[in-house]
Structure 1
Amino acid sequence: MKRLEILCVLKSEGEYKAEHVERLHRQVLQHLPDARFRCISDVDVPCERMPMEHPWPGWWSKQNLFSPSITGDFLYLDLDSAIVGDLSDLAGLDRLAIMRDVYRKDGLQSSIMFLPEADRAKVWAEWVKSPEIWMQMYRKGGDQAFLERLWLGKAAIIQDELPGQVCSYKAHVRPAVRKDREFGNGAVPDGARVIAFHGLPRPWQVGW
């Protein structure tokens, strides 16, 4: 049985720090102790570190995930994810899968992705043609808008593949404020494994 791989990305000079890598690493090992957890970063981190080959700014640093120097399939998690249950199903997906955007039914969200090597190669080939142009073109939507260009209608949707296992803190956990798109009551939904925070508040700001 192959060892399950989980990756995250930390770019220095932003709001995220090595302590946030440590937090996610700890949560992953609690719920999937046999996983190999690695972080692509340009600074020291308290886990196995992979050098960040390209210092693309902000969320664009996640494009390092698609470098051909990384082999094999893996599950990617944003640093503001909260792990609340067994990750075996997520890490064991066998095809390209990405979150559906929480607020746009026809959009994608890159907070959580299962990334097979073959599918990453296609993204890299497109990206490296002109990173500066893509960053300018998708400066508002960011990396997930670039991925929509390639994967919308083609990638499996995690919420469909594993119903209920991935939730949004704002939409499904915290007490609903906007009744048109928030449904939480303060409790973690039954069956949830990962809570995506995607923006403020961050999980550590609310005790996660």
Structure 2
Amino acid sequence: MSTVTENIAAAGLPIAEPSKDDDRARRPGSMKTVACVLRSGGEYAPRHVARLLDQVTEHLPGAKFRCFSDINVPGVEVIPLRYGWPGWWAKMELFRPELPDDWLFFDLDTSIIGSLADMAAVDGPVIMRDVVDPSILQSAIMAIPQSIKAAVWEAFTAAPADHMRRFAEGGDQSFIESCRWVDWRLWQDICPGQLCST
């Protein structure tokens, strides 16, 4: 589970203190649309989407929120999943280039306990460094700008079955990492002290 937090000093991790001139915490999160993905048939249900929406509403007031799903999610604007990709592979639909939004994506097991203003304000593609193996990427929290979607989408949809077979162990995040032309920055570097995993 990933936890986004403003203050995790108790965990012994460094905390970045904003300067007095830093107005990020006062800016509404209007730069990105917050997104999640709910694929039916797994361990997650609409109640997990509602939980995430409540946290986003509290910690990023005014943010747009969308859920990619193959089922109805009461009270949430759903973007229908178009492909039958199983499990975590459904997250690849975040890269559909016909959808113009820049996404701030969270897995459904994320707990948000502090402001998302810094994360909503970043430019460019951002992803997590894996918390168990820092040499690889983790797709639990991503900033996905429109500018990278088409290239990732075209690469994946050229042979989705082959990619799902090749990256069966690491899943979508292993495929995303294989897209070497995307210059991913890391959340842990640009928002130090704001993420932890339990």
Output the TM-score relative to the length of structure 2.
0.82
Contact 2:31 2:121 in 1 (8 A): no
The CA distance in 2 between the partners of 1:35 and 1:56, in whole Å, is 28
SS in 2 for 1:37: strand
Q: Is 1:137 the equivalent of 2:166?
A: yes
From 17, 21, 40, the counterpart of 2:49: 21
1:91 alignment partner in structure 2: 120
Q: Is 1:119 the equivalent of 2:128?
A: no
Q: 1:140-155, aligned counterparts within 5 Å? A: 140-151=169-180, 154-155=183-184
Q: 1:33: how far off?
A: 1.5
Contact 1:74 1:91 in 2 (8 A): no
SS in 2 for 1:30: helix
SS in 1 for 2:79: strand
2:83 alignment partner in structure 1: 54
Q: 1:103: how far off?
A: 1.5
Q: 1:148: how far off?
A: 1.0
Question: Over residues 110-163 of structure 1, what are the superposed CA-to-partner deviations in whole Å (9 max), with x where a residue is unaligned?
Answer: 000000011121110100110000000000010001011014983101100110
Mark the runs of 5 or more structure 2 residues left unpaired by the alignment. Answer: 1-27
Q: 1:69: how far off?
A: 2.5
SS in 2 for 1:43: coil
Aligned residues: 169
Contact 2:72 2:78 in 1 (8 A): yes
The CA distance in 1 between the partners of 2:180 and 2:133, in whole Å, is 15
Tell me which stretches of 4 or more aligned residues in structure 1 moved more than 4 Å.
none
Contact 1:3 1:36 in 2 (8 A): no
Contact 1:62 1:143 in 2 (8 A): yes
* Larger RCO of the pair (alpha carbons < 8 Å, separation 6+): 2
* Percent identity over paired residues: 44
1:41 alignment partner in structure 2: 69
The CA distance in 2 between the partners of 1:4 and 1:95, in whole Å, is 11
From 30, 45, 60, the counterpart of 1:32: 60
The CA distance in 2 between the partners of 1:5 and 1:91, in whole Å, is 9
1:177 alignment partner in structure 2: none
Q: 1:24: how far off?
A: 0.5
SS in 1 for 2:179: helix
Question: Over residues 12-57 of structure 1, what are the superposed CA-to-partner deviations in whole Å (9 max), with x where a residue is unaligned?
Answer: 0111100100010011101112100110000011311111111200
Output the TM-score relative to the length of structure 1.
0.78
